[in-house]
Amino acid sequence: MSTFPMQKDSAIVDATHTLKPVELWLVRHGETEWSLSGQHTGRTDLPLTSFGEEQAKKIGELLKGRRFGIVLTSPLLRARETCRLAGYSDKAVVDPNLREWDYGEYEGKTSAEIQKQRPGWSLWRDGVPRGEGIEQVATRAQAVIDRVLGASGDALLFAHGHILRILTCCWLGLPPQDGSLFMLGTASVTTLGHEHETRVITRLNAGAIQ
């Protein structure tokens, strides 16, 4: 099980004066050249492709101007541009903890290329040399959760595939390695919330266009 402490969740009062637990809306950035080719993209600051820009605009249509108590974005260009094109840049705050996993020596390489050198390699099990360990990424993800639970209202987060998969594990109380079980498409929306008192995934990969 995860070693990260659980925190009592924040709640907001809706129009009927009923307490409503907050939701976290997770948006993976639109397509880039490397997401298209399958190259690991951590610290490399790539722009969106033209199709990625169209995907980001579709996210804005999906959200339909929905209001959030807090909007956070990764500092990397592909996330910030997705945020802007979706229509939330005026409300967004950059949070460095939302940056993608630092893949170290495997930056820019595909899984197939890595497995030629390390047969059977798995990012989730074996990690990366000279990069971040998975527990370090999970610590950042938990810090984001703690931040949004300290705010008022639902949260909208623009970030990257692997950090958001690990954040989902932290929300559910799962070990970060279980992020291997989730797939988040580019420009997809996933929401985390509650069923009664239990933290759950309430929406997975909504709105993704490929």
**70-73 and 19-21 beta bridge pairing:** unpaired
Catalytically active residues are 29, 100
Q: Is residue 138 part of a domain?
A: yes
The answer to whether residue 2 sits within a structural domain is no
Is 39 a member of any domain?
A: yes
For residue 193, the enclosing domain spans: 11-206
pLDDT > 90 in the chain, percent: 87
In a domain, 6, yes or no: no
- Number of domains into which the chain is organized: 1
Q: How would residue 21 be classed by pLDDT, with cut points 50, 70 and 90?
A: confident
Sign of CA dihedral 119, 123, 125, 130: positive
- Phi/psi of residue 74, nearest 5 degrees: -60, 150
Q: Is the model's pLDDT at 180 over the cut of 70?
A: yes
Residue 34 belongs to some domain of the structure: yes
For 180, other C-beta atoms within 10 Å of its C-beta total 14
pLDDT at 10 over 80: no
Residue 167 lies in a domain: yes
The reply to whether 74 falls in a domain is: yes
CATH code, 20: 3.40.50.1240
Q: For residue 5, is it within any domain?
A: no
